[in-house]
Amino acid sequence: MTRTPVNVTVTGAAGQIGYSLLFRIASGQLLGQDTPVRLKLLEITPALKAAEGTAMELDDCAFPLLSGIDITDDPNVAFDGVNVALLVGARPRTKGMERGDLLEANGGIFKPQGEAINAHAADDVRVLVVGNPANTNALIAQQHAPDVPADRFTAMTRLDQNRAYTQLAKKLGVTVNDIKKLVIWGNHSATQYPDLFHAEVNGKNAAEAVNDQAWIENEFIPTVAKRGAAIIEARGASSAASAANAAIDHVHDWVNGTPEGQWISAGVVSDGSYGTPEGLITSFPVVAKDGRFEIVQGLEIDDFSRARIDASNAELAEERDAVRSLGLI
Ligand SMILES: NC(=O)c1ccc[n+]([C@@H]2O[C@H](COP(=O)([O-])OP(=O)(O)OC[C@H]3O[C@@H](n4cnc5c(N)ncnc54)[C@H](O)[C@@H]3O)[C@@H](O)[C@H]2O)c1
Ligand SMILES: O=C(O)C[C@H](O)C(=O)O
């Protein structure tokens, strides 16, 4: 192994997503089997001991690609030289708690982390925000990192996309391998819009293949959009292994590119495409090329899709206004 290790920082490393994520990163699933990684684990002070326990287990795996582990409660140390930052640490939503309640609790975490990324990250840093409310937390961090190109800050909607793939596959009796271009627009929240109208199943339009508008409106969209809450209801804790899996998918594709003819979903800084307010971090259909996400352009948006995309972006604009009024951006 001659390559210089890539510095990967994971915040909330002692949490449940961290416990799924770290072993997959260290085993090479994030960046590939020829890329050594150095892990930097950021936790709050009371959770440092638990993070140390996870690091002991990582050591005990003897991963050939893992070149070292640093553990800290200081964002300035955690983000020093970081190439890939996975911002997972946040307060998860618990049963009965609305996402809006999370804004104030979590906003304070992402401002200092954005500042630390701005001051200490490597030039090629890429940031994925997983901690909820992911889109707005990503916006807060991005706004406090003025020296980092804005397109390096992203929010995760890949889990929603993966959920949509399986719901559609089950409905049509196909496998997820038969589906392409099924993407999420908007916020990682119950207002998100999983879009069957641009998706393909074995080369055919997915909405036409389903041919059941009532199922699309009353089952497919709500099932995908409320899946996070359904998991919390069932497990008594928010999704963890599937969230870690989606984070791996997101960064892997960002770095390695998307296959020809495939789109994926990512929350990226809006350039105003599709009438989305510029500057919001909102999910679009994107392709990854040369290490960058590009928003897929030129799609026709019918009235059904338009109403849903606009509603989700209106929610994001409200979240932005709320954090602005709290002085967080
Ligand atoms: N975007 C998505 O698709 C998606 C999916 C699932 C979960 N989530 C979100 O991911 C987040 C993490 O979920 P989890 O289940 O791992 O939660 P968890 O409570 O198990 O772990 C969170 C960890 O973050 C740590 N933490 C808190 N503040 C921190 C800070 N300032 N710096 C560093 N670490 C800090 C905590 O100590 C804890 O160990 C939650 O906000 C959850 O809602 C997002
Ligand atoms: O933690 C949550 O609120 C749910 C989570 O974002 C999920 O989609 O599983």
Distance separating alpha carbons of residues 68 and 24, to the nearest angstrom: 15
**Region 93-103 average pLDDT:** 67
Buried b (16+ CB within 10 A) or exposed e, 88-126: bbbebbeeeeebeebbeebbebbbebbbbbbebbbeebb
**Region 175-183 average pLDDT:** 98
Q: What pLDDT is stored for residue 327 in this prediction?
A: 86
- For the stretch 223-233, pLDDT in tens is 999 999 999 99
**Has 188 been annotated as catalytic?**
yes
Bigger pLDDT: 100 vs 52: 52
Average pLDDT, the chain: 95
Distance separating alpha carbons of residues 109 and 137, to the nearest angstrom: 8
Nearest partner of 54 among 89, 92, 11, 23, judged by Cα? 23
* Run of H or E residues at 39: strand 37-42
- For the stretch 130-168, pLDDT in tens is 999 999 999 999 999 999 999 999 999 999 999 999 999
Distance separating alpha carbons of residues 156 and 262, to the nearest angstrom: 18
Considering the candidates 188, 198, 250, 252, report the single residue annotated as catalytic: 188
Distance separating alpha carbons of residues 190 and 193, to the nearest angstrom: 9
- For the stretch 118-139, pLDDT in tens is 999 999 999 999 999 999 999 9
Tell me the CA–centroid distance for residue 268 and ligand 1, in Å.
20
User: CA-CA distances (angstroms) from residue 63 to 1, 42, 57, 112?
Assistant: 13, 20, 11, 32
- Best probe residue, ligand 1, of 130, 224, 282 (max atoms within 8 Å of C-beta): 130
Q: Residue 98 corresponds to which tokens in the numbers above?
A: 């609305």
The vertex-16 CA angle with 15 and 21, nearest 5°, equals 95
* Among 93-102, 178-187, 217-226, 285-294, the least confident range: 93-102
